[in-house]
Each structure stands twice: as structure tokens, then as C-alpha cells.
Amino acid sequence: MTVKQVRVYSPGSIANLGPGFDVIGVALDSLGDIVRLEKIDEPEVRLSVKGVGADKIPVDPEINSSGAVLQLVKERYDVSHGFKAEIRKGIPPGKGMGSSGASASATAIAVDHMLGLGLNTKELIGLAAHGEGAVAGAPHADNVAASILGGYVLVGEDYDVVRLDAPNVGVIVVAPEINIENKTRKARELLPEKVALMDAVKNIGYATRMTAGVALGDPVLFGRSICDNLVEPHRAAMIPHFWKVKQAALDAGAYGCSISGGGPSVFAVGEPVGEIAKAMVEAFSSIETRVYHTTPSNRGARVI
């Protein structure tokens, strides 16, 4: 028997997390989306969006992460009825905090619960990653794995994910009010097809030390390992004053600082969060910004 209506909360996330491009992500506390899913008789997918940045999110299921999840479920499981999904945004879209991933993750959890599909973790992550692909151009699972599972995640092949509890540490995300059209696609287009071996070695070292910091419950080692020689140098060009903002964060006491997801937000890890946030905002100069004070969340998406 199917459930007629279900509501799911899914946290936002920071993906890439410095050296972990397309592999490492962490869920965020107090930043999330809610999806209310209803079964309808008509064989179609209807979407509505409310909340933060709702006017910037398309309701065409073909190019909406939640809609793409529902359409795939209808095709894959031969579902004759339709769905109506109301997406209530708590995460600003296009800022690198896992907005589309949170919506896709909440929808995957909701439709699995509604239809009683009994999907395992890998299947849920794969379904949500398909939704991400509708926005990003290709599926990637570092955001959705963090949103679904909570904590600190490492994504392997075929959506095989290792999850660890994330350390308790302050996270500051500063989002500049700049508009980058097709931001996710552009951020990927900036990346080189080949990288220097030494840069790759450095990133492997940072990523392994960062994971060791998480496993050891050492927030300082975790934060100081948020360094990136492969992606950050190329994507920094998208973000005005990026290097100045990063240095300001480090000078104010941050353990580490990098681009949040595909940008343009910049995140820092460390204490005291107030002084770090102030320094970052000032370094953005005349650009208007919005600041989010948060911590890693070890709770993932859940029915509410």
C-alpha cells in the first residue's frame, strides 16, 4: 500500500570540501530543504517551489532535481499515477551549499517511503544523484550522499559511500551576491582535463589527512587539511577577491578555507566564528554578502 502524502527534511552540504573534488562532502546543520510529496491520479509530475530563492528554481521536471527524481521513478518502476511535490527551500540556490542536492535527496527519501520501494543506501544515493544531473549536466554524489546520510562522506565507484561522524567545529559560509549564469556547468568547464602529478599528490595527501582528522575527532587537523591544488586555482577566477577573502579568514583564526561546492560561496572552518565571518565579509569589499553560521550535521535526510 502506498502512502498518499509524506514530508521529508534534507540538510544542505558542502561538497568537494577542499581537496575532495566529486568525492568528499559534509552535511550542514540548520540549513535544509523540505519536500512535501503527494500522490495524484493524473500521470504527471507537478512541482511548486517556495522559500529562499524560489523564483530562481524552474518547475519544469526535466530541469529540476526533484522532478528528475520523480520522473525516473515513474519510468523505472512503471508507476501509473503522478506526483505533486512542494519544495520549500531553506538553502539558497546557486551558492554552493547543496541546494539542488538537498531537494533531490529529500525527494528520493520521500518517494521511497511513499511507494514502499525499500531502496538501499546505494540506490537512494544513485536516484538522488540522477536528480543532481538534471541541474549539473552530469550526476555526482558528493552532495546527495552527505544530505542523505549526514556526517562526512567519501564517495566511491557505483555510489559506494563511506560515512564518518563529522567533527564538531564552527563553519562559516559567506555567499557573495553575484550572479553566475549556469554556475554549476561553468564551474566544471573551468577545470583542466589534465593536471600536474605533483599537484595530484598534494591533493591526495590533504584529502587523506583531512579524513584522518575526521576519524580522530581532531577539528584542527580536519580544518588545516582543507587545501586544494587542483580545482580551487581555476575556480577562484569566478569569485571576486577570493584570495583576499581566504587570507582574511586564515588571519582571523580559521583552520582552513576554500570554495564551497562549485561556488561562489566561500567557507571557512574554525573559531571564533564571529571574527572569521567579519574578516571575510570585509575582504569581499563592496560586494554584498550573506553569512551563514553553521556546523557539520551528523543527521541526514528524514521523514518529518
- Active site residue ranges: 132, 184
The answer to whether 39 and 254 are in contact (CB under 8 A) is: no
Residues written for the chain: 304
Other C-beta atoms lying within 10 Å of the C-beta of residue 237: 10
Other C-beta atoms lying within 10 Å of the C-beta of residue 81: 13
Which distant-in-sequence residues (6+ apart) come within 8 Å of 87 by Cβ?
33, 34, 35, 47, 48, 49, 50, 51, 57, 66, 103, 106
Q: Is 39 helix (H, G, I), strand (E, B) or coil?
A: strand
Residue type, 266: V
The answer to whether 15 and 27 are in contact (CB under 8 A) is: no
**Burial class of residue 47 (count of CB atoms within 10 Å of its CB; 0-12, 13-18, 19+):** buried
Cα separations (Å) of 293 from 28, 29, 62, 133, 189? 10, 9, 33, 28, 30
The answer to whether 98 and 12 are in contact (CB under 8 A) is: yes
